[in-house]
């Protein structure tokens, strides 16, 4: 009987040790998506940033991510996608897609962030947007026509569908090659998020080379 009690005690201790080790194991800083999402440019490793102009964390991320984007190698395609959860998110997202379609997004992106985050402009109606963007050299009439076009409405639908496939719940969120999702919090900070992106890009590059051989 004594031997049985001792054996049971050792078994319980071993089970507790295994449970404790499992509990202490660090969680992965990223989530692998249930189903991979096709990339925009086949043959290139895609890095997506989902953002919202009204998000202060996205605004704070700008000075960190922009220099990183400028140094990306030629086999990496960086894409910004506006997250649209309704209301102001949709209005600002449609504004971004309009500016992108007009080919001026890269010129006024920072100014739009400043207007909303620092100057506390709402920019919720097309007319408000057009007035503000005119100070940055964007043609008001062309902006309004593009904003209300069928093509932009189609791109809004596409952006919303992508966000659903990425299974995002907030911003800023990054997606690497349509497979891996993470945010600044899960990565441990802004710089760490970009380091994680680099690591996953390298991982995908190595996988592509292995598949080609």
Q: What angle do CA 81, 82, 88 make, to 5 degrees?
A: 175
**Domains of the chain in sequence order:** 31-212 (3.40.30.10)
Q: Rg (Cα) of the chain, in Å, rounded?
A: 23
Per-residue pLDDT at 26: 66
Per-residue pLDDT at 18: 45
Q: In what order do the strands lie in the sheet with 76-82?
A: 31-32, 180-183, 173-176, 45-51, 76-82
Structure token digits, residue 74? 């030629």
In the Cβ-directed half-sphere of 43, how many Cα atoms lie within 13 Å?
1
- Alpha carbon distances (Å) from 118 to 53, 71, 104, 121: 11, 28, 21, 8
Q: How far apart are CA 169 and CA 102, in angstroms?
A: 29
Please list, in sequence order, all residues whose beta carbon lies within 8 angstroms of the beta carbon of residue 111, skipping any fewer than 6 positions away: 136
Task: Please give the backbone phi and psi of residue 181, each rounded to the nearest 5 degrees, phi first.
Answer: -120, 140
What single DSSP character describes residue 39?
P
In the Cβ-directed half-sphere of 83, how many Cα atoms lie within 13 Å?
23
Per-residue pLDDT at 28: 86
> Per residue of the chain (213 residues), what is the pLDDT tens digit?
444 444 444 344 444 444 444 455 567 899 999 999 999 999 999 999 999 999 999 999 999 999 999 999 999 999 999 999 999 999 999 999 999 999 999 999 999 999 999 999 999 999 999 999 999 999 999 999 999 999 999 999 999 999 999 999 999 999 999 999 999 999 999 999 999 999 999 999 999 999 988
DSSP characters over 105-171: HHHHHHHHHHHHHTS-----SHHHHHHHHHTTT--HHHHHHHHTSHHHHHHHHHHHHHHHHHT--SS
Per-residue pLDDT at 27: 79
CB 146 within 8 A of CB 137: no
Q: How far apart are CA 213 and CA 191, in angstroms?
A: 34
């Amino acid at each position: 009987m004594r031997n049985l009690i001792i054996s049971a005690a050792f078994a319980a201790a071993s089970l507790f040790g295994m449970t404790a080790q499992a509990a202490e194991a660090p969680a992965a800083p990223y989530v692998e998506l249930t189903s991979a999402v096709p990339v925009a440019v086949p043959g290139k490793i895609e890095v997506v940033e989902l953002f919202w102009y009204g998000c202060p964390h996205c605004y704070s991320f700008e000075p960190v991510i922009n220099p990183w984007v400028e140094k990306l190698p030629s086999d990496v395609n960086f894409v910004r996608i506006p997250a649209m959860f309704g209301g102001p998110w949709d209005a600002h997202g449609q504004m971004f897609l309009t500016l992108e379609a007009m080919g001026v997004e890269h010129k006024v992106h920072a100014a739009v962030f400043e207007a909303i985050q620092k100057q506390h402009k709402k920019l919720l109606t097309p007319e408000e947007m057009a007035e503000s963007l005119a100070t940055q050299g964007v043609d008001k009439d062309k902006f309004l026509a593009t904003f209300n076009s069928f093509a932009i409405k189609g791109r809004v639908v596409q952006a919303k569908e992508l966000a659903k496939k990425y299974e995002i719940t907030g911003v800023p969120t990054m997606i690497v090659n349509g497979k891996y999702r993470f945010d600044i919090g899960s990565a441990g900070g802004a710089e760490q998020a970009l380091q994680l992106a680099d690591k996953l890009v390298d991982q995908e590059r190595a996988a592509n080379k292995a598949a080609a051989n």
